[in-house]
Amino acid sequence: MPYSRSTSRSVGQRELAALPNHAVLVNVARAGVLDLDALISTLHAGGLGGAALDVMDPQPAPSDPVWDAPGLLLTPKVAAYHPDMQGDFEAFAEAQVKRFLAGKSLHCLADSEQLSRYTFGV
């Protein structure tokens, strides 16, 4: 779904409430089509089975309640497709799984202290 004035926040409280409680929302569209506040309140109220977001608008600060939302999976903008990027991502994911299975530490880990130093564009 493209982002435009007519699609801005088009998935909001009313649309989320129409979903069954076991539904899982997956947004790989433009972030602005989803009302993030409505999603977070729906998740906290148990109105969805979960949600997966590849993008958020605006990018939340480290203290934002989005980070504590139950059942929310966040990915780092991996829904975009470019042939080279996809191959690199797959190789990285495979290497991470191999490291995990071998009991080695993973690459590119972030902890809460690291995240608290970033403003995420806010």
CB atoms within 10 A of CB 43: 22
CB atoms within 10 A of CB 65: 13
pLDDT along the chain (122 residues), means of 10: 86 96 89 92 94 82 87 78 75 91 85 50 37
* E-assigned strand segments in 16-89: 24-27, 50-53, 72-74
Phi, psi dihedrals of residue 57, rounded to the nearest 5°: -140, 115
What pLDDT, on the 0 to 100 scale, is given for residue 43? Answer: 95
Q: Which domains does the chain have, with CATH numbers?
A: 1-77 (3.40.50.720), 81-122 (no CATH)
